[in-house]
Amino acid sequence: MESDWLLSAQGLARDYGGRRVVADIELRLAAGDVLGVLGPNGAGKTTILRMLAGTLAPSAGRVAIAGADLADNPRAAKRHLGYLPERPPVYPELTVDEYLRFAARLHGLPRARRAAAIEAAKIDCGLTDVGRRLIGALSKGYAQRVGLAQAIVHRPDVLILDEPTAGLDPSQLIGVRALIGRLSREHSVIISSHILGEIQAVASHIVIVDRGRLALSASRAELAADASWLEIGLAHGPDAATLAALPDVADVREAGNGRWLIRPTDGHDIRVALAEHAVAHGWGLQMLAARPTSLEERFMRVISAGDDTGRAAS
């Protein structure tokens, strides 16, 4: 495994009942990265994250964390890892302080360092005023903060967060989202969600999982550079049918005020031809520019490329 990545996964796969539900997963995480994992419900996101976190053995492939192989040397690998599953592993009958002391011991923190580490995690997660309260008496938003605190109490290099805002009300969501943003400045993070806005707000690199496979892997810069639509402004423009009949035009949408959105067929750059055609036919060309594809548009394009059957169990 490469030692220059904080986390690397090669050829990860998982079988259930003789059926391969996750296959060919290749991921890399460098220091300072925030990797967003998107996909519809049932796409296989949780299965992938569990394999990365070492709570589910892959049927094939390898994972290394900070240079340590997760299968061959799990204790060394997990020393650098914090994990928050979709359902926070908290105990409602414990107080916040009791639970974090328990988590610190599980993570192998020396006794002399535990009190300071717990206090730092409580400060980071906004829990300083609830240390003596039972977790079962906390709101769901605060319980999620406790789950995040146990994931960072040992100051890991890598955080894996599975649907960390699922089920939160709007006010709780805002608080937890801000907390994740702060944590991403101190840790490399892998975060999954089926909510595009959650990922777009924090991720430096985005992968889309569909039916147990990586359907897309791109940096935010690469996504921003993907301009599959052209926007054209015409003072005396034609109708949609005329534009749609032009060579290498796949789709046309009216945007109002003489503006049109035109999607070329894949692999074709029609900007010069389109401008020349507009001038030659006296359409009054006012503007022509590439329109960056939104993450939502890219997501829907990737997901709709396959059928909706046979999705891997999440």
pLDDT surpasses 70 at 226: no
The CA angle 252-253-259, to the nearest 5 degrees, is 105
The segment(s) of the chain belonging to CATH 3.40.50.300 are 7-224
CATH assignment of 227-291?
3.30.70
Q: What is the average per-residue pLDDT within 161-167?
A: 90
Q: For residue range 127-146, what is the model confidence (pLDDT) as tens digits?
A: 999 999 999 999 999 999 99
pLDDT surpasses 90 at 179: no
Q: What is the average per-residue pLDDT within 232-249?
A: 93
Q: What is the average per-residue pLDDT within 171-175?
A: 84
pLDDT at 310: 45
The segment(s) of the chain belonging to CATH 3.30.70 are 227-291
pLDDT surpasses 50 at 309: no
User: How confident is residue 303, by pLDDT bands cut at 50, 70 and 90?
Assistant: confident
Q: Which residue has the tokens 């147990």?
A: 212
- Fold classification of 7-224 (topology level): Rossmann fold (3.40.50)
Q: For residue range 9-40, what is the model confidence (pLDDT) as tens digits?
A: 999 999 999 999 999 999 999 998 999 999 99
Q: Write the Ramachandran bin of 108: left for phi over 0, alpha for psi from -120 to 50, otherwise beta.
A: left
Listed in sequence order, the residues at least 6 apart from 23 whose beta carbon sits closer than 8 Å to its beta carbon are 13, 212, 213
Q: For residue range 182-196, what is the model confidence (pLDDT) as tens digits?
A: 888 889 999 998 888
* Mean confidence (pLDDT) of the chain: 90
Pull the structure tokens for residue 199: 């990922």
User: How confident is residue 308, by pLDDT bands cut at 50, 70 and 90?
Assistant: very low
Q: For residue range 91-113, what is the model confidence (pLDDT) as tens digits?
A: 999 999 999 999 999 999 999 99
Q: What is the average per-residue pLDDT within 43-59?
A: 97
Q: What is the average per-residue pLDDT within 163-168?
A: 87
